[in-house]
Amino acid sequence: MPRLSNGLLRHAFTINPLLPPLLRTCRTLPSAHNELRWLRQHVDARLETKFGRKKDVPAPLRQRCIVNLVKKRARGVPLQYILGSQPFGDLDILCRKGVLIPRQATEEYTYRLSSILLSTPSLRTDPKQIRILDLCTGTGCIPLLLLSLLSPTLKTTVTGIDISPTALALARLNTTHNSPPLSSAHARFASGDVLASGAALLDEAHRARGDEGWYGDERFDVVTANPPYISRLGFNRDTERSVRNFEPRLALVPEEDRIGRIDKGRLEDIFYGRIVEKAEGVGARILVMEVAGTEQAGRVARIVRGRKGWGKIEIWRDFPDGVVGEEGEGRIGGDEGIEGRGVVGEKGELVEDIVFRGVGEGRSVVCWRAVGEPASESRGDI
């Protein structure tokens, strides 16, 4: 990471003494400005709730609270943990320590997926309703945004699975926090180990409460998954300090002690074969899996190609519809184009003619069941 110039830090200090510590984390002056504004707004909202009126808030107390939050942010604490939430589509997703913070790229492909589901009745077993299963659900942001986007048109039910009790509690809280438009009657979250085979997807606690049947006998039209997909080296070398120090490693890096009982392969890829099996087992007609980048997207596409019953495969980039985002707001396309074809072979060879969509890094692998291919009748893979 390049060092900040003393001139930039001095300039920031002349604008506001609180900007330099934020600048060391944010890296750019516009970002530091934005974060300071959000921190002030957060403090003002909390103090006005406590004191009733803005004019009754003691100025020294307000300043002290702002300085304390700036110090936390300067230490690298993620802004979303400090503010307590992250906008995700039209939802306000609560964020807590121990649960991965939703990313913009995840929001982008969730929107694109919702458009496809609305415009493609063949992806639904029942034309008037749709059932969605989200694996490694975390905050529940993916299934809850899909529920929000689809439910005005279709009867929609979403189910999220996660191994973390902290994540499950937060996902349930996010359902009620965003109600309306969300309804807990159409969203449910359960504990389960995605790497487990058979009925062990749900842990013993849920089976003891009689919850096993709803999963074991149920079919889903759509499976989404944002599993741990970063290698240990990538975690230590490529992630930001705030990610390494404050976000849950369990949600980012597969546990090494589990690779011995999973098919051999790269540690960062071990979830994907299991996810594909589970998508087949529940009869999913479309499967969306988030990945770390283009290279991993190619490996995951080959995993799917190695199994029967899957037809079209696409790799969606960070901005799958071609909209670049904040600093390039409204710009369409780019050097890569909105649609292209990519080399996904391990050594650079063209393995399959896979469509790449959008701008940026490969961010999700999207797989459709082959036309006329029946859903798996085997429950053993689930």
Q: CATH code at 350?
A: 3.40.50.150
Whether residue 151 sits in one domain with residue 114: yes
Q: Is 95 inside any structural domain? A: no
Closest among 123, 164, 116, 124 to 140, alpha carbons compared: 164
The answer to whether the beta carbons of residues 332 and 322 sit under 8 Å apart is yes
Distances (CA, A) of 92 to 7, 26, 74: 38, 22, 24
Closest among 125, 142, 161 to 285, alpha carbons compared: 125
Residue 59 CB neighbour total at 10 angstroms: 7
Q: Is 140 inside any structural domain? A: yes
166 three-state secondary structure: helix
Q: Is 84 inside any structural domain? A: no
Number of domains in the chain: 2
Q: 173-205 burial, b for 16+ CB within 10 Å, e for fewer?
A: ebbeebeeebeeebbbbbbbebbbeeeebbbee
Whether residue 148 sits in one domain with residue 36: no
Q: What is the pLDDT along the chain (382 residues), one digit of tens a residue?
A: 678 999 999 999 999 999 999 999 998 999 999 999 999 999 999 999 999 998 999 999 999 999 999 999 999 999 999 999 999 999 999 999 999 999 999 999 999 999 999 999 999 989 899 999 999 999 999 999 999 999 999 999 999 999 999 999 999 999 999 998 888 889 999 999 998 865 556 554 455 445 544 455 578 999 999 999 999 999 999 999 899 999 999 999 998 766 555 556 788 999 999 999 999 999 999 999 999 999 999 999 999 999 999 999 999 999 998 865 443 333 233 334 455 565 455 544 444 568 899 999 999 999 999 755 555 544 344 4
Whether residue 149 sits in one domain with residue 33: no
Judge if pTM exceeds 0.85. yes
Distances (CA, A) of 122 to 53, 126, 134, 156: 55, 9, 20, 16
**CA-to-CA distance for 14 and 257, rounded, in angstroms?**
52
Whether residue 43 sits in one domain with residue 159: no
294 three-state secondary structure: helix
Closest among 287, 271, 281, 278 to 369, alpha carbons compared: 287
Residue 135 DSSP one-character state: E
Whether residue 348 sits in one domain with residue 208: yes
Q: Read off the tokens for 294.
A: 């283009």
Whether residue 232 sits in one domain with residue 126: yes
- In this structure, the chain runs to a length of 382
Give me the domain span that covers residue 359.
Answer: 104-369
Whether residue 184 sits in one domain with residue 127: yes
Q: Is 376 inside any structural domain? A: no
Q: Is 89 inside any structural domain? A: no
Number of helices (H) and strands (E) in the chain: give both, helices first.
14, 11
